[in-house]
């Protein structure tokens, strides 16, 4: 039976890591997958996470199944982390949160819930968006369409074009927005622009579906959740898919959460029962380990402080690297003004190179990035900046 199945290409982002690992050039630089690395090129377990894990190892006395909604206690804590304390929608009993296997799990479960509630709904995604949004949402059977977002010429959001497209979206469709640190462009909505998106959503009746995979990597935990908090305050229904892979460094533990804001608490109860029925049909219940660690950290003032300091260090390192890359690049060539890289936020920016140039960087310099010239800034190191800048200069000149 399986002879009918053709061989498929590897994940274009994760496949790049394999190619990088196999490269024997000692000068190689990995700007591919969005994994935070320190200046030694390592992704260590965060100290707050290691401390929470040690505590958990001493305290855990059972591996019995956990609750279908996830590790008890963690849902309230992660809802507060996303929405803040005393959010009006939470106080009104309108939010239901479940833990999911990573942000990917949250996106997929949300898509299945939408499919149950309104199978004819279209999900509008930004041009461009994270490549995995397409299979994660599309494979649930929903139709996907695009709204204009990033303008490659000006290296910024084409907000008038975006608003114009949003104004034409039919009531009941969903608009996928990135809370902060837009993947792949690094270009984020300002507070004023979030307000305007909320106005149009109210006017048109579309439902915001927000992907928050980088809370704390842009400006800070509060600032990066401005959009979801605002939309959940102003609109009757909002979906929020959260990943803890980056901000807790829990990538392989598959820790994430899905919060849905419903019209009222009785719709919320029905909605939660549907969510649990969706997950029962997919994987029964989420992994507990990552959520338990997050729960321990968020319930300890000391560990929370330690975790936030580590997150601040990661964010500051990325913004420092952004600044240093601009300085290096602009000092040695005049062809392109790269200062947009310092204006953008989070893990990613586009260099603005074409595919041939990207392949040339990979082949001639062992510098790895996705074919659309997206670079993962955290993969840079200060001792490699000159090498990378010189390589880009020579590519631009050739």
Smallest distance from ligand TYF to CB 159, Å: 24
Q: Which of 264-276 are b and which e, b meaning 16 or more Cβ less than 10 Å from the residue's Cβ?
A: eeeebeebbebbb
Q: Which of 42-50, 101-109, 193-201, 276-284 is the region at the interface with ligand PLP (rule: CB under 6 A)?
A: 101-109
Query: Residue 255: how many CA atoms within 13 Å on its side-chain side?
Result: 22
- Is 373 one of the binding residues for ligand PLP (CB under 6 A)? no
Counting beta carbons within 10 angstroms of the beta carbon of residue 290, is it exposed (0 to 12), middle (13 to 18) or buried (19 or more)? buried
Residues 6+ apart with CB under 8 A from 79: 90, 95, 97, 257, 259
**Pairing between strand 374-376 and 95-101?**
unpaired
Select the binding partner of residue 13 from ligand PLP, ligand TYF, none (C-beta < 5 to 8 A, by kind). ligand TYF
Among 52, 77, 213, 358, binds ligand PLP (CB under 6 A): 213
Map residue 27 onto helix, strand or coil. coil
Q: Is 295 a catalytic residue?
A: no
Alpha-carbon distance of 179 to 211, in angstroms, equals 6
Select the binding partner of residue 14 from ligand PLP, ligand TYF, none (C-beta < 5 to 8 A, by kind). ligand TYF
**Pairing between strand 29-30 and 367-368?**
parallel
If the CB atoms of residues 245 and 370 are measured against ligand PLP, the closer one turns out to be 245
Alpha-carbon distance of 139 to 157, in angstroms, equals 28
Comparing CA positions, the residue from 28, 61, 77 lying closest to residue 298 is 77
Residues within window 176-195 making contact with ligand PLP, judged by CB under 6 A: 183
- Is 216 one of the binding residues for ligand PLP (CB under 6 A)? no
Q: Is 307 a catalytic residue?
A: no
The token duo for 265 is 């608490």
Q: Is the dihedral of CA 261, 234, 103, 163 positive or negative?
A: positive
- Which neighbouring-strand residues pair with 100? 256
Q: Is 168 a catalytic residue?
A: no
Which residues of this chain interact with ligand TYF, rule CB under 6 A? 11, 13-14, 33-34, 130, 132, 183
Smallest distance from ligand TYF to CB 11, Å: 5
Select the binding partner of residue 243 from ligand PLP, ligand TYF, none (C-beta < 5 to 8 A, by kind). ligand PLP
Select the residue whose beta carbon is closest to ligand PLP and give its number: 102
Answer yes or no: are the C-beta atoms of 383 and 46 closer than 8 Å: no
Select the binding partner of residue 211 from ligand PLP, ligand TYF, none (C-beta < 5 to 8 A, by kind). ligand PLP
Select the binding partner of residue 23 from ligand PLP, ligand TYF, none (C-beta < 5 to 8 A, by kind). none
Smallest distance from ligand TYF to CB 184, Å: 7
Smallest distance from ligand TYF to CB 374, Å: 8
Select the binding partner of residue 271 from ligand TYF, ligand PLP, none (C-beta < 5 to 8 A, by kind). none
Q: Which of 99-107, 110-118, 231-239, 322-330 is the region at the interface with ligand PLP (rule: CB under 6 A)?
A: 99-107
Residues 6+ apart with CB under 8 A from 122: 142, 143, 144, 145, 170, 173, 174
Of the residues 28, 30, 130, 384, only one is catalytic, namely 130
- Is 104 one of the binding residues for ligand PLP (CB under 6 A)? yes
Binding interface with ligand PLP (CB under 6 A): 34, 102-104, 130, 183, 211, 213, 243, 245, 256
Catalytic residues: 130, 211, 246
């Amino acid at each position: 039976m399986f002879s009918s199945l053709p061989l498929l290409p590897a994940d274009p982002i994760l496949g790049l890591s394999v190619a990088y690992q196999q490269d024997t050039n000692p000068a190689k630089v990995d700007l591919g997958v969005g994994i935070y690395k320190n200046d030694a090129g390592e992704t260590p377990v965060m100290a707050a996470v290691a401390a929470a894990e040690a505590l958990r190892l001493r305290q855990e006395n059972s591996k019995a199944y956990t609750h279908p909604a996830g590790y008890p206690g963690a849902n309230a804590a992660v809802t507060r982390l996303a929405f803040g304390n005393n959010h009006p929608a939470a106080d009104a009993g309108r939010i239901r949160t479940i833990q999911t296997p990573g942000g990917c799990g949250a996106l997929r479960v949300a898509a299945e819930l939408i499919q149950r509630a309104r199978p004819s709904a279209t999900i509008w995604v930004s041009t461009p968006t994270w490549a995995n949004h397409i299979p994660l949402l599309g494979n649930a059977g929903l139709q996907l369409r695009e709204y204009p977002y990033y303008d490659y010429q000006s290296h910024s959001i084409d907000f008038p074009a975006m608003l114009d497209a949003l104004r034409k979206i039919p009531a009941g469709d969903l608009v996928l927005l990135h809370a902060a640190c837009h993947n792949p462009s690094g270009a984020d909505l300002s507070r004023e622009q979030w307000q305007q998106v909320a106005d149009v959503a109210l006017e048109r009746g579309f439902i915001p579906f927000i992907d928050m995979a980088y809370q704390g990597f842009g400006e800070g935990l509060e600032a990066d959740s401005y959009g979801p908090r605002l939309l959940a305050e102003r609109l009757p229904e909002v979906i929020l898919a959260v990943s803890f892979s980056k901000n807790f460094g829990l990538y392989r533990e598959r820790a994430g959460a899905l919060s849905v804001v419903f019209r009222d608490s009785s719709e919320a109860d029905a909605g939660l029962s549907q969510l649990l029925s969706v997950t029962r049909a997919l994987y029964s219940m989420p992994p507990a380990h990552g959520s338990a660690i997050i729960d321990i950290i968020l319930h300890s003032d000391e560990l929370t402080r330690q975790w936030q300091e580590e997150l601040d260090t990661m964010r500051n390192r990325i913004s420092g690297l952004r600044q240093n890359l601009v300085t290096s690049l602009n000092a040695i060539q005049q062809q392109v003004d790269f200062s947009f890289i310092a204006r953008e936020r989070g893990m990613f920016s586009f260099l603005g190179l074409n595919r041939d140039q990207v392949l040339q960087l990979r082949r001639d310099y062992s510098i790895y990035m996705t074919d659309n010239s997206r670079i993962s800034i955290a993969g840079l190191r200060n001792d490699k900046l000159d090498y990378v800048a010189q390589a880009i200069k020579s590519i631009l000149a050739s």
